[in-house]
C-alpha cells in the first residue's frame, strides 16, 4: 500500500469536538548557533518544544511534520529563522497558530574580580516564538544566578548575616536586536554580588566583603532588575522574577514585576 492510499486517521472527525490550543512534540534536541557579542557566534545544544493549534473538527495532528520542519530549518537561532520555521509549521500542519520554544545553555567566560582567573559560566536561556496570521511574537529569556545578603539579618546580628544564592529570571520582548549579554548584565548587577565559576582566596575575600556591603532583599533585587530593563532602549516588555533559595528558612522568597515599557 502506498502512502497516498493509507488512511489519514488524524483528519477523522473528533469524538469530542473541542478546539485544542496547543498540540505537538516536546524534548527534541538539536545543535543550534546563537549570536555571541564577543565571538560572533556560539554553538550549543537546544531542547525544543513545537506545537500548533488544532480545530475542533480534527481528531489529531501529524506529529512527524514537526520533525520534518526542523530538518528543513537552519541551525542559526534568530528572529528571522524562527519566523521561517513557524510559518513552515503552520503550512505543513494546516494551522492558524504555531509555537516554538528553544532552551539552551549560553556560555560566557568570566574573570574573577581580583586574581583575574578565567572560568566558563553557563546560563540557561530560552527563545520563544508564537506565530499567528503572519506575525511573529518573539521573546528572549535568561536565568541568572546572583548572591544576596539579607539586610535584616545584617542589621540585627552582632556578627555576620545570612546569605544565599538567588535566581533572576528575565523574559523580554524588544525591537531590533537584543544581546543575551544585555539581560545577563542587568540581572548580575541587581544582586548583592555576581556568582563566579572560579574564585581564588583573594577573590572570595573581595566577593564576601563586597556582598556584605551591598545587602539586598528579594524585593530590592527585582526592583533593580526591573529598573535596568525599563531603561534599556530596545526592550518593549519584560517580566522579571527573583527567587532567593533561603539558607536559614525552609522556603524560598520570591518577587515578580511585569511591565510594558514602550511600543514596539
Does this model's pTM top 0.95? My answer is no
Most confident option among 7-11, 19-23, 183-187, 260-264: 183-187
Per-residue pLDDT of 83-119, as tens digits, reads: 999 999 999 998 999 999 999 999 999 999 999 999 9
- State the Cα–Cα distance between residues 260 and 236, nearest whole angstrom: 6
In 3-state terms, the chain is what percent helix, strand and coil (to 5)?
25, 40, 30
Tell me: pLDDT of 192 over 60.
yes
Round to whole Å and give the CA distance between 232 and 254. Answer: 24
pLDDT for res 11: 61
Helix axis angle, 180-188 to 218-231, nearest 10°? 140
Nearest to 219 by CA among 244, 182, 251: 244
How far apart are alpha carbons 80 and 131 in whole angstroms?
12
Q: Are 34 and 180 in contact (CB under 8 A)?
A: yes
| Measured distance CA(252)–CA(97) in Å, rounded | 37
Is the pLDDT at 10 greater than 70? The verdict is no
Q: Report the C-alpha gap between 208 and 65 in whole angstroms.
A: 53
* Structural domains of the chain ordered from first start: 16-260 (3.10.270.10)
In whole angstroms, what is the distance from residue 184 CA to residue 127 CA?
Answer: 14
Alpha-carbon distances of 182 from 82, 93, 109, 122, 142, rounded to whole Å: 21, 36, 15, 15, 10
Query: Minimal CA–CA distance to 65: which of 98, 89, 31, 36?
Result: 89
Question: How many angstroms separate the CA atoms of 208 and 193, rounded?
Answer: 8
Length of the chain: 264
Q: Where is pLDDT greater, at 15 or 122?
A: 122
**Other residues' Cβ atoms within 10 Å of the Cβ of residue 25:** 16
- The 3-state DSSP class for residue 67 equals helix
Amino acid at each position: 500500500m502506498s502512502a497516498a492510499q493509507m488512511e489519514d486517521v488524524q483528519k477523522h472527525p473528533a469524538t469530542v469536538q473541542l478546539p485544542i490550543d496547543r498540540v505537538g512534540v516536546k524534548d527534541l534536541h538539536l545543535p543550534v548557533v546563537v549570536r555571541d557579542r564577543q565571538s560572533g557566534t556560539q554553538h550549543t545544544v537546544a531542547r525544543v518544544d513545537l506545537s500548533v493549534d488544532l480545530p475542533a473538527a480534527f481528531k489529531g495532528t501529524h506529529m512527524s511534520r514537526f520533525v520534518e520542519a526542523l530538518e528543513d530549518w537552519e541551525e542559526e537561532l534568530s528572529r528571522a529563522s524562527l519566523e521561517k520555521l513557524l510559518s513552515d509549521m503552520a503550512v505543513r500542519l494546516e494551522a492558524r497558530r504555531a509555537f516554538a520554544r528553544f532552551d539552551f545553555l549560553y556560555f560566557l567566560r568570566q574573570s574573577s574580580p581580583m586574581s583575574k582567573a578565567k572560568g566558563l559560566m553557563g546560563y540557561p536561556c530560552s527563545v520563544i516564538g508564537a506565530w499567528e496570521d503572519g506575525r511573529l511574537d518573539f521573546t528572549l529569556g535568561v536565568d541568572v544566578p546572583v548572591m544576596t545578603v539579607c539586610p535584616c539579618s545584617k542589621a540585627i546580628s552582632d556578627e555576620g548575616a545570612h546569605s544565599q544564592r538567588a535566581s533572576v529570571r528575565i523574559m523580554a520582548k524588544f525591537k531590533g536586536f537584543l544581546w543575551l549579554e544585555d539581560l545577563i548584565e542587568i540581572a548580575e548587577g541587581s544582586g548583592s554580588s555576581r556568582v563566579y565559576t572560579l574564585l581564588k582566596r583573594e577573590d572570595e575575600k573581595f566577593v564576601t566583603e563586597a556582598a556584605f556591603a551591598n545587602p539586598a532583599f528579594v524585593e530590592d533585587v527585582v526592583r533593580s532588575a526591573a529598573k535596568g530593563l525599563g531603561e534599556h532602549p530596545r526592550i518593549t516588555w519584560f517580566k522579571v522574577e527573583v527567587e532567593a533559595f533561603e539558607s536559614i528558612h525552609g522556603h524560598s522568597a520570591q518577587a515578580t514585576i511585569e511591565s510594558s515599557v514602550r511600543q514596539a
